[in-house]
Amino acid sequence: MATSTSTSRTSDFFREVVAECPVDPRLEACLQCGTCGGSCPSGPDMDHTPRTLFAMIAAGMRDAVLRSNTPWYCVSCYYCMERCPQEIRITDVMYTLKRMAIKAGYSAQTTAPKGPGFAQTFVDHVENYGRSFELGLITRYYLNHRPLDALKMAPLGMGLLKRRRLDLSPRPIRQIEQLKAILDKAREIDAAHAV
């Protein structure tokens, strides 16, 4: 992917992050102004603010970045992207870091351990049915990842059921095989790029 990140002040990890983004995130232009962290609704609960995280990426602190809860606490509100004076695609960088943390096997070791499991369960459902199947999703996720919390969520599930706001059975899309073929091909292309 064409980027302008060949400056000597960036680390290998920095270049890896940029290359993993779907389009150039313009991360090399970060001024360390802190607007992103100041705008972030989850900022106070993050291990590192987005600004700090970007400095850590530039410094090549791979392990600390991929273990941090910061990407998982990003709620995709896009305030940072709206306000960043350098138009850096901050939210895309957060998504990229989530993918890299999962790929590097850090899922269970991040300081937001519930994040990767929920995302993976969601993806499995969509890949199998083409749509997100709420009750199945929630049930499977809680039983697999958070059996103790399952009870806490039960009233919500019952409330949704009582109001007929939950599906009791998965309803796959008609051309699920077509979708699977597309997704398989995408996986193949992604794998070819990775080597």
Instruction: Give the residues lining the site for ligand SF4 (CB under 6 A).
Output: 30-36, 39-42, 50-51, 54, 74-80, 84-86, 88, 90-91, 94
Q: Does residue 98 touch another protein according to CB under 8 A? A: yes
Q: Does residue 166 touch another protein according to CB under 8 A? A: yes
Cβ proximity to another protein: between 2 and 12 the closer is 2
User: SS3 for 155?
Assistant: helix
Tell me how far apart the alpha carbons of residues 138 and 182 are, in angstroms, rounded to a whole number: 26
Q: Does residue 189 touch another protein according to CB under 8 A? A: yes
54 binds, among ligand SF4, another protein, none (CB under 5 to 8 A by kind): ligand SF4
Contacting range for another protein; rule: CB under 8 A; set: 8-16, 26-34, 55-63, 108-116: 108-116
User: SS3 for 108?
Assistant: helix
Tell me how far apart the alpha carbons of residues 26 and 4 are, in angstroms, rounded to a whole number: 8
Would you call 51 exposed, middle or buried from its count of C-beta atoms within 10 A (0-12, 13-18, 19+)? buried
Least Å from the CB of residue 70 to ligand SF4: 8
HSE, CB side, 13 Å, CA atoms: give it for residue 68: 23
Which two three-digit tokens encode residue 56?
């850590």
Which two three-digit tokens encode residue 76?
């995709």
Cβ proximity to another protein: between 59 and 157 the closer is 157
Cβ proximity to another protein: between 9 and 192 the closer is 192
